[in-house]
Structure 1
Amino acid sequence: MLTWPSLEGMGTQLIPMATAVRTLSTSTAPAAVQELEADVGGAVQDSLNAIPYQQQLLFIGVVFIGTLAISRFSVKVGIPAILGVLLLGLSINITTLNITHAQAENFHVLCLALLLFYAGLKTDLIAIRGFLKYGVLLAVGGVLASSLLLGAFIWWLSNATADPINLPASSMPFGAALLTAACLGSTDAGATLSVLRDIQNKVPERLRHLLEFESSVNDPSALLFFGLVVGLFVTSEVGTGPVSLQATALNELRKFVQQLSGGLLLGFIFGYLAIFVINHLVSERSQLLIVAVSIAFVVYGTAFYLGASGLIAIYICGLFLTNMSYRLPEITHVTLQEVLLPFNTMTEICVFLVFGLLVNPADLVDSLPAGLLTAAGLMLIARPVSVLIFQSQSPFRFRETLLISWCGLRGAVPLALSYELVASVPRLRGIDPAQVEALARDCQSTIFIVVVLNLLLQGLTLPMICRFLNLSPDTAGDAEPPPGDPHTASPG
């Protein structure tokens, strides 16, 4: 199902690093799968060695120049640039070289770590003063509500309409439906703000700050929820005997609390250490990139070996760094964001490009009905409901809330998480072994289709929605504060 271009130089360096720092649930594949992946891995190495590295570098350079061209074209037609990159990878879709699923998964886990670190750096608490409480409710409670609603919707569709419509593996287990929905829980503010760039004078600044904050915070929220679902519905090994639901819930709750608390604690500790390093070892701005990336890897790897959540630790560390002051006047949270922005952009491009290169277009055809219905459920039911239920706590008027509910564009995190989903499907409790391959393939293809449709439809219609709602930069500033919240009247 998976294909891989001539990217030996990048893949062989990144994949071992990702394996060393990985903190998500590790997969225990059956012996037959491991043997198959080992055989395929040997074939991959032989194929790559047969191609001169000059040709590999030429291919990589041409492809990345192509991503710049397609990004510029995408913005001109009004869709997020990352969607153009994803479609570029899908159109190339080289099938001459293969890659094992474990290698692709490890690569995307590394990308998740880097994306979460930058998300922490972008979480500017000062910019959202006055509506911090609402932002946290939207980012955490919204992820939980939308994932549960979408999971129930997918499960109902797969069981109620399996005969007339080709949905993922008829009679899909509820755990698989929740895992699919959990992958789609995170939004991408970068995609939203890039679409709104041409009409940003019509969007209140506080609203843009809220969308950026929500996206930054709901990334770790979605990852935590995904991990919780994995713990409740996935066994530690294939073929594990039945365990009582109560024992499973208590055990996973203990693990969840341990990983969350450990991640928070390590994030704060390394945040202080990172400030010390920057203040005493950094003498000029050009050194910030290597220092920041090194800190991110150290935090991630340390959390893994201590049994904590590396993703939470790395996010908290980034959040800590962006909300503190430094010895050198030229080093600020804005400087850190500017230095890491190219690295983050490169990571996002790699996630979308590689996913487009790996996906099998034939699988998308069979999963198209499921993708269409799931995308409709996400955009028309799950996302609006998860926003509107917190309207009583919102400092924004109903018109702004409607725009927020339509700004839930999905990005790199859902695609990266889909590889963890594929690894978890064989270990779902009560899963029929004969159903595993089809279910894993269809779930991943459904996520791909939902991300594409979400970026395409909402990306094209967001400017029209803004004009229809007749928003102005001062609209949100006049919003009435929710009852009992004395802070929402503060200027943004």
Structure 2
Amino acid sequence: MPYFPFASTTGLEKIPLETQVLFIGLLFLGSLIISRFSIKIGVPAILGVLLLGLSLNFEFLNIGFEKAEKIFVFGLALLLFYAGLKTDVKTIRGFLEYGLVLAIGGVAISSLMLGGLIWFLSSPAGDFIAPGFLNNMPIGAALLIAACLGSTDAGATISVLAKVQNLLPDRLRHLLEFESSVNDPAAILVFGVVGGIFLSSGAANLNTEASLVRIGLTGLRDFLQQVGGGLIIGALFGYVAKFVIDHLAHERSQLLIVAIAIAFADYGCTQVLGGSGFIAVYLTGLLMTNMTYKNNDINHNSLQEVLLPFNTMVEFTIFILFGLLVNPLSLMPALPVGILTAAALMLVARPLSVLIFQPLSPFTTKENLLVSWCGLRGAVPLALSYKLMAEIPEIRGIDPSMVDSLTQNAQSIVFIVVVLNLLVQGLSLPRLCSRLNLSAT
């Protein structure tokens, strides 16, 4: 079991239930207050919530690694379901192909570039900067960290740009929302591919060519099973959702119950059958938002409006819980590598991943420049970082003596990058948008 940088003195279960309920209520009220304050000073609300949790960091929250991982994986599934609901194909007519290439290809390219930079610049345990080709961080760990950071958060971007929304063209806003919705499952796929390549599969002898081929074929089979299962079951539940909405949900007020029930059943069924629940819930949400229903009041707008408060609560829960559980002192060893990784992401990986597809873009150079700087990271990277902690100890060939420190520092790097990314780009985006003088048409 990897080291988990949580405080562990008493345990939440020893606190009276009434006190727990009071604590949760005050915590969400505090999150609301700090989110409003954050928006006023021009930074994403989720950053304020994250820093609130980090500043409180109560020592009695002894949840444990397994419980925390389940909470964040569960939250990730709900975020992906809402991402599917936000993928309204009609809003990106005329640049659908570019949006798909940017979202999927951009995640793959930026993850490869960022993973390579982390591998080249970081020490084996990720605790100091050590450029070179010898004695580096394991390439599998570096790529898993980069894959965690592949997903962007359009909600944070749009909220930051609210002050200059009259300068943001509608089609550019639609592109940012579409990209962030599609690159969520794309980042999950990249993470899964990297895991399939570098994680141990229990082979007795990894030194023979036959064993390596067998590992590769097994990994490919498992990957195709998860993707195929997720697509098939996700599509089936999309039509199940349509049937339920058309014949059982006669009122708009019932949409929340229907959507959450479908998401839960979809994810659970897919996981039980060996597919990827993440892909399934995303595809189901995508189909639901792009279908036509008997009740004209039920459409993509009503589905998104009904689920938005629930999605916001899930995001806030992930950020506040992450801040509450992570020990600030555990972040210090990874701070140099984290800062350098954030700079590499914002100044190299993200801009280049957008620039590579410039010939396919129907947008102007100024608009593409804004897109390249609109790579705010949100709840998905933090939720994925818990899967990262579970998978790093399973990387083939990793030195057992550095497993604990590398696992801790890997999650710390993701945390540091998310905070710096939200802070730097959150503060600078409105100024960049104003300087570019875009036409809001």
Instruction: Judge same fold: TM > 0.5, yes or no.
Output: yes
Structure 1 residue corresponding to 2:321, chosen from 331, 341, 354: 354
Shift of 1:249: 2.1
Structure 2 contact 127–333 (Cα < 8 Å) conserved: no
Shift of 1:166: 7.5
Shift of 1:417: 0.5
Distance in 2 separating the partners of 1:451 and 1:84: 12
Structure 1 contact 263–312 (Cα < 8 Å) conserved: yes
Runs of 4+ in 1 over 6 A off after TM superposition: 160-164
> Does 1:211 find its partner at 2:211?
no
Distance in 2 separating the partners of 1:228 and 1:161: 23
Distance in 1 separating the partners of 2:122 and 2:142: 9
**Letter aligned with residue 305 of structure 1:** V
* Matched residue, 1:234: 199
Distance in 2 separating the partners of 1:49 and 1:60: 14
Residues 146-189 of structure 1, C-alpha deviations (whole Å, 9 max, x = no match) = 0000000000001599897379xx62100000000000000000
Shift of 1:426: 1.1
Structure 1 contact 3–94 (Cα < 8 Å) conserved: no
Q: Relative to 1, partners in 2 of residues 1:347 and 1:160: Cα closer, same or farther, differing over 3 Å?
A: closer
Shift of 1:404: 0.3
Q: Relative to 1, partners in 2 of residues 1:162 and 1:436: Cα closer, same or farther, differing over 3 Å?
A: closer
> Does 1:446 find its partner at 2:413?
yes
**Letter aligned with residue 223 of structure 1:** I
Structure 1 contact 166–367 (Cα < 8 Å) conserved: no
> Does 1:57 find its partner at 2:21?
yes
Residues 53-86 of structure 1, C-alpha deviations (whole Å, 9 max, x = no match) = 1111111111110000000000000000000000
> Does 1:90 find its partner at 2:54?
yes
Structure 1 contact 384–405 (Cα < 8 Å) conserved: yes
SS at the partner of 1:127? Answer: helix
Structure 1 residue corresponding to 2:236, chosen from 263, 269, 279: 269
Structure 1 residue corresponding to 2:388, chosen from 396, 405, 421: 421
> Does 1:407 find its partner at 2:397?
no
SS at the partner of 1:291? Answer: helix
* Matched residue, 1:112: 76
Structure 2 contact 255–303 (Cα < 8 Å) conserved: yes
Structure 2 residue corresponding to 1:467, chosen from 410, 434, 438: 434
* Matched residue, 2:307: 340
Structure 2 residue corresponding to 1:221, chosen from 182, 186, 197: 186
1:24-423 alignment to 2 at 5 Å? 47-158=11-122, 165=129, 171-236=136-201, 241-242=205-206, 244-423=211-390
Distance in 2 separating the partners of 1:276 and 1:221: 28
**Letter aligned with residue 165 of structure 2:** Q
Distance in 1 separating the partners of 2:204 and 2:16: 46
Structure 1 contact 166–370 (Cα < 8 Å) conserved: no
Residues 3-30 of structure 1, C-alpha deviations (whole Å, 9 max, x = no match) = 47xxxxxxxxxxxxxxxxxxxxxxxxxx
**Letter aligned with residue 363 of structure 1:** S
Distance in 2 separating the partners of 1:283 and 1:403: 43
Structure 2 contact 12–63 (Cα < 8 Å) conserved: no
Structure 1 contact 121–318 (Cα < 8 Å) conserved: yes
SS at the partner of 2:197? Answer: helix
Distance in 2 separating the partners of 1:417 and 1:249: 24
Distance in 1 separating the partners of 2:43 and 2:122: 30
Shift of 1:49: 4.3
**Letter aligned with residue 271 of structure 1:** G
Structure 1 contact 3–93 (Cα < 8 Å) conserved: no
Shift of 1:198: 1.0
Shift of 1:48: 3.7
Q: Relative to 1, partners in 2 of residues 1:310 and 1:164: Cα closer, same or farther, differing over 3 Å?
A: closer
Identity of aligned residues (%): 61
TM-score (norm 2): 0.94
Distance in 1 separating the partners of 2:258 and 2:60: 38
Q: Relative to 1, partners in 2 of residues 1:419 and 1:163: Cα closer, same or farther, differing over 3 Å?
A: closer
Structure 2 contact 126–409 (Cα < 8 Å) conserved: no
Q: Relative to 1, partners in 2 of residues 1:373 and 1:299: Cα closer, same or farther, differing over 3 Å?
A: same
**Letter aligned with residue 300 of structure 2:** H
**Letter aligned with residue 180 of structure 2:** S
**Letter aligned with residue 74 of structure 1:** S
Residues 425-455 of structure 1, C-alpha deviations (whole Å, 9 max, x = no match) = 1111001111000000001001000000000
Shift of 1:316: 0.5
Shift of 1:331: 1.2
Distance in 2 separating the partners of 1:454 and 1:164: 20
Distance in 2 separating the partners of 1:360 and 1:431: 25
Distance in 1 separating the partners of 2:17 and 2:84: 36
Structure 1 contact 235–428 (Cα < 8 Å) conserved: yes
SS at the partner of 1:126? Answer: helix
Residues 374-425 of structure 1, C-alpha deviations (whole Å, 9 max, x = no match) = 0000000000000010000000011100000000000000000101111111
